[in-house]
Structure 1
Amino acid sequence: MTIASEEFNSVSTADQSSPASQQLSYFRTLAYAGIVGAAGGLVATIYYFVLEQLLEIVWDSGREFILGWFPAWLPHWHYTWIVATVGGLGVGLCLYFLGLPGEMALVIDRVHDAGRLDPKQTPGMIATSLVSITAGGSLGPEAPLVQINGSLGSWIAEKLNLTLENTRVMTFCGMGAALAAFFGDPIGGPMFALEIPHRRGLEYYEAIIPAMVAGICSFAVFRMGTGLEVGGIYNFGRFGVLPNLSWFNLLEGALLGLVGALAGILFIGIFRLVKWMIQKIEHRHILLALMGGLGIGWIAVLYPATLFFSEQQIETELLAQSASLGVITLLGICLTKMVAICFTIHGGFRGGFIFPLFFTGASLGLAIAFGIPSIHPTIAVLCCMAAINVAITKTPISTTIILTVLSDTTILPVIAISSFTSFLLTSNIGLLKTQRARATESLSGLDVTEAEAGA
Structure 2
Amino acid sequence: MRGYGGRVAHDGPPAAPPPVPPSGPAVPSSASSPAPSARALLPLVVPSLAVGVASALVLLGVSAVADRLEHVLWQSLPDALGIGRYSALWMIVTLTATGLAVGIAVRLVPGHAGPDPATTGLIDAPLPARVVPGLLLVTGLALAGGVSLGPENPITAANVALVYWLGRRAAPRAPVALWPALAAAGTIGALFGTPVAAALILSESLAAGQGQGPSQGKGQGKGQGQGQGVGSGPGPRGSLWDKLFGPLIAAGAGGLTTVLVSHPTFDLGLPPYPGTGWGDLAAALVIAPVAAALGMAVVYAFPHVHAFFRSLPLLRHPVPALTAGGLVLGLLGTLGGQLTLFKGLAEVKTLAADPEGWSAGSFALMTVVKLAALTTAAACGFRGGRIFPAVFAGAALGLCAHALVPAVQPSLGVVCAVLGVLLAITRHGWLSLFTAAVLAADTTILPLLCVAALPAWLLVTGRPHMRLHDDGTPAR
Q: TM-score, normalised by structure 2?
A: 0.77
CA distance in structure 1 between the partners assigned to 2:41 and 2:120 by the alignment: 26
- What is the deviation of 1:321? 3.9
Letter in 2 for 1:253: A
- Structure 1 counterpart of 2:460, from 423, 426, 433: 426
Structure 1 match to 2:114: 101
Correspondence 1:41-440 to 2 at 5 A = 41-67=56-82, 76-98=87-109, 99-102=112-115, 107-108=120-121, 111=124, 115-162=125-172, 166-192=175-201, 195=204, 198-199=224-225, 204=233, 206=235, 208-226=244-262, 228-229=263-264, 231-237=265-271, 241-246=272-277, 249-281=280-312, 283-304=316-337, 305-316=339-350, 318-410=351-443, 411-433=445-467
**Equivalent residue, structure 1, for 2:46:** 31
Residue-by-residue CA offset, 1:35-73 (whole Å, 9 max, x unaligned): 2101112222212211111111111222211336x9xxx
Does the 8 Å CA contact 1:129/1:351 hold for their aligned counterparts?
A: yes
Q: Which amino acid aligns with 1:219?
A: G
Equivalence for 1:440: none
* Distance change (3 Å), C-alpha of 1:199 and 1:284: closer
Q: Which runs of 5+ in 1 are unaligned?
A: 11-23, 436-455
**Alignment deviations for residues 307-329 of structure 1 (CA, whole Å, 9 cap, x no partner):** 1110111111x223432311222
CA distance in 2, matches of 1:35, 1:65: 43
The alpha-carbon deviation at position 123 of structure 1 amounts to 0.9
CA distance in 2, matches of 1:184, 1:42: 13
**Corresponding residue SS for 1:308:** coil
TM-score, length-scaled by structure 1: 0.80
Shift of 1:432: 4.2
Q: Which amino acid aligns with 1:402?
A: T
CA contact (8 A) 2:387 2:422 kept: yes
- CA 1:193–1:63: 2 relative to 1, 3 Å: farther
Q: Which moved more, 1:426-435 or 1:387-396?
A: 426-435
What displacement does 1:420 show? Answer: 4.0
AA partner of residue 134 (structure 2): G
| Matches of 2:122 and 2:275, distance apart in 1 | 44
**What is the rounded CA distance, in whole Å, between the counterparts of 1:289 and 1:191 in structure 2?**
34
CA distance in 2, matches of 1:359, 1:416: 21
Asked whether the 8 Å contact 1:388–1:422 carries over to 2, the reply is: no
Distance 1:9 1:93 in 2: 52
Equivalent position amino acid for 1:85 in 2: T
Are 1:107 and 1:147, in contact at CA under 8 Å, matched by a contact in 2? no
How many residues align structurally?
Answer: 405
CA distance in 1, matches of 2:224, 2:245: 18
Please state how far the C-alpha of 1:120 moved relative to its aligned partner: 2.0
SS in 1 for 2:345: coil
CA separation of 1:199/1:250 partners in 2, compared to 1, >3 Å: closer, same or farther? farther
CA RMSD of aligned residues (A): 3.0
Unaligned runs of 5+ in 2: 1-22, 34-38, 206-222, 236-242, 470-476
Tell me, yes or no, if the aligned pair for 2:74 and 2:86 is still in contact at 8 Å: no
Equivalent-residue separation in structure 2 for 1:169 and 1:283 (angstroms): 37
Greater helix proportion: 1
Distance 1:348 1:193, change over 3 A: farther
Deviations 1:257-280 (A, max 9, x none): 211211111111332331233331
% same residue:
21
